[in-house]
Every structure is written in C-alpha cells, then in structure tokens.
Amino acid sequence: MTSEGNETQPIIRVQEVTRVYRVDSREIPALRGVDLAIGPGKVVALRGRSGSGKTTLLNCIGGLDRPTSGQVWFEGKDVTRQPEGAWVNLRRRRIGFVFQSHALLATYTAWENVDLMLRLAGVRRRERQRRTEEVLTLMGLTKWREHRTFELSGGQQQRVAIARAIAPRPALILADEPTGELDSATGQQILTLFRRIADRDGTTILIATHDLAVDAFAHEVYHLEDGRIVDEHSGSFAKAVTIRLERGKGKEEGHVP
Ligand code: ADP
Ligand code: MG
C-alpha cells in the first residue's frame, strides 16, 4: 500500500562519488564528485560524450568498479564497501546489466541464455520455465527461442540481452549504450520495451548513452561532462506517449513519433 506524504525512497543514491584511475604515475579522474538519487520505476538517461565517465559511473553503481571516494546506496543500504560476494548476490537478484556488446553466450539458445540467469538467481525449474517464456514473449522473441544467439541479428541479440536482464525481476537495470549498435528503428523498439518494463514492473532503468533519442523515453536526463553532472532535467518523454499508453495499455510496440 502506498500512503500519501510517504516519500518514496530512492533505489539508488550516489553521494560525492569520485573515481580516479592510476595509470603508471598518472592520475585520470573519471568521476569528480557525482551526486544523484533515482526513484523506483524511473527511466533515467545518463548522457555525455565518450570519455565523460558514463561507464565508470554505471560500473560503480553496479559494483563492477569501486569509487575512490564517496558512497553508493542501493535500496537504502550503503553498499560502497560491501564484499564482492555480496555484490555478486545483488547482481544475480536485484541488479541487471545490459551491455552494448550483449555479452550473451553465443552457442546457447535465446531460451538457455535467459534460463541460465534464472538459475544463477536461484529460481526453481517450473518458475524458470514460466518466466523465460514470459520475457521472451515480451521481447517478441517467441519465434527465436530455440535459435542460438550467434544466429540472431543485432537487434534480436539486444532483445535477448534485455530479456536476460529482466527475467530475475531486478529492481534496477543498468544499460550501457544499449542502442549504440542498432539502427534507429530497432533502437526505438528497445527503448519502448525499457519504458514498458519500468511502467509495468516498477523497475528502475539507468541508460548510459550519447543517443539523443533516449531523452524521449526518459523521466529524467543527467548530463555528464568530465566526470561531473553538469545538467539535470526531465526527459522530453512526449505526452503523446503517456496518452497512448493509457489508451492502449498492453498493446504491442508503441511507436514513438
Ligand atoms: P564513457 O563511458 O562516458 O565513454 P568512461 O567511464 O569509459 O567514459 O571513461 C571516463 C574516463 O576514464 C576516460 O578519460 C577514460 O579514458 C578513463 N578510463 C576509463 N576506464 C579506465 C581504466 N580502466 N583505466 C584508465 N582510465 C580509464
Ligand atoms: Mg562508456
């Protein structure tokens, strides 16, 4: 039950996070004090040029990298210095990653790629079957479920990657340039699916990108420049889309003009 006046707790909170890489005797400041708080069910775009720190920030939030200083909070808990085992657990159950390179198991079928993630999350066989079926259907991949992923197109592979990330029903999905290698129609399709997952399941989705098109699907947009957030505004997520979602709930593939 939600009660009014009860502030929703952010799912992620990043406080004064810095990350300095040391290469030989040089110091490369990739993040220079980042603060942000993101609520549940939000689609957030993290925009910035190549080298601005997007990947570093996602990795610090998902525990693939550690901040040099500052704190990362996940679901109200300071996770910054938690041991690797706790991170592994979080990533199996609460945080899904979608990488530009998909990182799928090429010789596994679409079905097996999803099923494996559910096994890692400790989901039992019958429930795995149900959920694998469900997410592959949601991603429009029913026809391709028995295909090994190397046989699939870039867009199909990206949809398998998303299916795999959402199957364990994570609270947070971190997507690093998920539309980077896709044509714009496929990219829009992927963004529509992200938006649908956020609206349907309350999943928070943080998308690092230099793709302007992402703004149209985001609730909030953060701009990174040289490791700092220099601007923050609401997404241009068109009112037209909201209206259509309300009108046509559950309809296939909302195409955003
Ligand atoms: P983006 O994802 O926005 O392109 P990155 O987070 O990859 O940016 O990189 C931010 C800065 O940190 C860049 O200057 C990059 O060269 C540097 N950097 C990233 N990863 C490493 C690393 N492993 N070692 C040294 N420098 C790195
Ligand atoms: Mg990057």
Same domain, yes or no: 139 and 224? no
At which of 129, 146, 169 does a domain end?
169
In a domain? residue 66: yes
Which residues have C-beta within 8 Å of that of residue 115, sequence separation ≥ 6? Answer: 128, 132
15/81 same-domain check: yes
255 part of a folded domain: no
Q: Do residues 122 and 33 both lie within one domain?
A: no
- pLDDT at residue 190, rounded to an integer: 85
Does one domain contain both 45 and 165?
no
Q: Is residue 254 part of a domain?
A: no
Q: Are residues 175 and 161 in the same domain?
A: no
The token pair that represents 248 in the structure block: 């046509």
- Which of 55-59, 95-99, 100-104 is predicted least confidently? 100-104
Confidence of residue 240 (pLDDT cuts 50, 70, 90): very low
* CATH number of the domain encompassing residue 193: 3.40.50.300
Q: Which atom of ligand 1 is nearest to the CA of 57?
A: 6
Same-domain status, 60 and 31: yes
- What is the mean predicted confidence (pLDDT) over 197-224? 92
Domain extent for 159 = 102-169
Token output for 27: 């110091």
Structural domain count, the chain = 2
pLDDT on residue 247:
54
Mean pLDDT across the stretch 5-29?
89
Residue 1 Cα to ligand 2 middle (Å): 38
Residue 112 — pLDDT band, cuts 50, 70, 90? Answer: very high
- Whether residue 155 sits in one domain with residue 190: no
pLDDT value, residue 185: 86
**Most confident of the following: 34-38, 101-105, 153-157:** 34-38
Q: In this model, does residue 179 exceed pLDDT 90?
A: no
Chain-centre distance for alpha carbon 41: 11
Nearest CA owner, ligand 1 atom 12: 30
Atom of ligand 1 nearest to the CA of 49: 3
Residue 3 lies in a domain: no
Do residues 78 and 195 share a domain? yes
Residue at a domain's end among 123, 152, 169 = 169
Q: Report the pLDDT value the prediction gives residue 104, as an integer from 0 to 100.
A: 87
Give the distance (Å) from ligand 1 centre to CA of residue 179: 19
Has residue 257 been placed in a domain? no
Residue 7 has pLDDT above 70, yes or no: no
**What tokens were used for 113?**
């790629």
Expressed in angstroms and rounded, the spacing between residue 119 Cα and the centre of ligand 1 is 33
- H/E stretch holding 162 reads helix 154-166
Atom of ligand 1 minimally distant from the CA of 56:
6
42 shares a domain with 71: yes
Higher pLDDT, residue 235 or 184: 184
Between the CA of 42 and the centroid of ligand 2 the distance, in Å, is 21
Name which residue sits closest to atom 27 of ligand 1, judged by CA. Answer: 21
Specify the pLDDT at position 2.
Answer: 44
Over residues 210-214, the mean pLDDT reads: 86
- Whether residue 251 lies inside any domain: the answer is no
Q: Tokens 């309809």 appear where?
A: 251
What percent of the chain stands above pLDDT 90?
67
Q: What is the mean pLDDT of residues 182-195?
A: 86
Opening angle at CA 92, ends 87 and 93, nearest 5? 100
* C-alpha angle 160-166-170 in degrees, rounded to nearest 5: 155
Checking if the pLDDT of 253 tops 60, the result is no
The residue out of 169, 193, 220 marking a domain boundary is 169
Q: What is the pLDDT of residue 210?
A: 87
Q: Is residue 252 part of a domain?
A: no
For residues 185 and 142, the model is more confident at: 142
Binding-site residues, ligand 1, Cβ < 6 A: 21, 23, 28, 30, 48, 50-56
* Residue 246 confidence (pLDDT) above 90: no
Is the same domain home to 183 and 165?
no
- Do 190 and 229 belong together in one domain? yes
Shared domain check, 230 and 184: yes
Is the pTM value of this prediction over 0.85? yes
User: Is residue 49 domain-resident?
Assistant: yes
